[in-house]
Amino acid sequence: MSKALVVFSGGQDSTTCLFWALKNFDEVETLCFDYGQRHRIELDAARSIAEKAGMQFTLLNLDLLKQITHNSLTDQAMDVEENKPDNRPPNTLVEGRNMLFLTFAAIFAKGKDIPNLVTGVGQADFSGYPDCRDEFVRSLNQTLNLSMDYNFTIHTPLMWKSKQEIWALSDELGVFDLVRTQTVTCYNGIKGAGCGHCPACQLRKNGLKSYLKQKA
């Protein structure tokens, strides 16, 4: 029987991944992180989505990440940049975040003999986050296997998809409405359509617009 653990945040991408995993594995559970993110309301959305889907939901406290990094997602005194800077990553970058999420997920998964890890990172709508790139994920997969002498497979079903294609996938999976109304993508923590102007909302909104246009 195939088992998978989804790194889950309650956002559009990881929710789509969750339903992708439910279709592709026999047993699926979710792992969430509270790292002091300004949009912590996403954790309530995550719990509610996981519970409605009848899945195990585990929330880990990773407050330590907030203590050692400086960025606008965990530091409330810093504003989220609305435009992508040219010569450096946006100030929403949380250094090492995906590496830590996936490492904790791997440790947690090995203890339950779950070899498949699923994450919603992708590089098609590249936001300047080095830890969303395929090259990074493949290198991490190898390092995790060496670290714990175990054969993990990290699945990234969204790696090469645009936001438009991610909306299409959620529709294919029969969860378009759920994703549209129940997830939190917005950095300002507003469910569904969000604030509409933060970088995360802009990406989501433009993708949705393109998808609806294509579908019409």
Residue numbers at the binding site for a second copy (CB under 8 A): 60-62, 64-65, 67-70, 89, 95-96, 98-100, 103-104, 106-108, 110-111, 130-131, 133, 135-136, 139-140, 142-144, 146-149
- Shortest gap between Cβ of 40 and a second copy (angstroms)? 17
Give the C-alpha distances (Å, rounded to integers) separating 51 from 15, 45, 75, 175. 13, 10, 30, 15
Residue 209's contacts (CB-CB under 8 Å, 6 or more residues apart) are none
Distance of closest approach, residue 190 Cβ to a second copy, in angstroms: 29
User: Min. distance of Cβ 147 from a second copy in angstroms?
Assistant: 4
Between residues 127 and 210, which has the closer beta carbon with respect to a second copy? 127
Q: How far is the CB of 12 from a second copy (least distance, A)?
A: 23
CA–CA dist 204, 8 (Å, integer): 17
For a second copy, give the closer residue by CB, 96 or 174. 96
Token pair recorded at residue 209: 């617009």
In 3D space, the residue among 48, 60, 1, 7 whose CA is nearest the CA of residue 29 turns out to be 7
Query: CA 56, 64, 194 angle in degrees (round to 5)?
Result: 60
Instruction: State the nearest-atom distance from the C-beta of 148 to a second copy, in Å.
Output: 6
What's the token pair of residue 162?
A: 């645009």
Closer residue to a second copy, CB minimum distance, 142 or 181: 142
Q: Which residue has the tokens 């609806």?
A: 212
For a second copy, the closer of residues 97 and 204 by Cβ is 97
Of 96, 103, 102, nearest in space to 68 by CA: 96
Residue 57 or residue 108: which is nearer to a second copy going by CB? 108
| Both tokens assigned to 83 | 């435009």
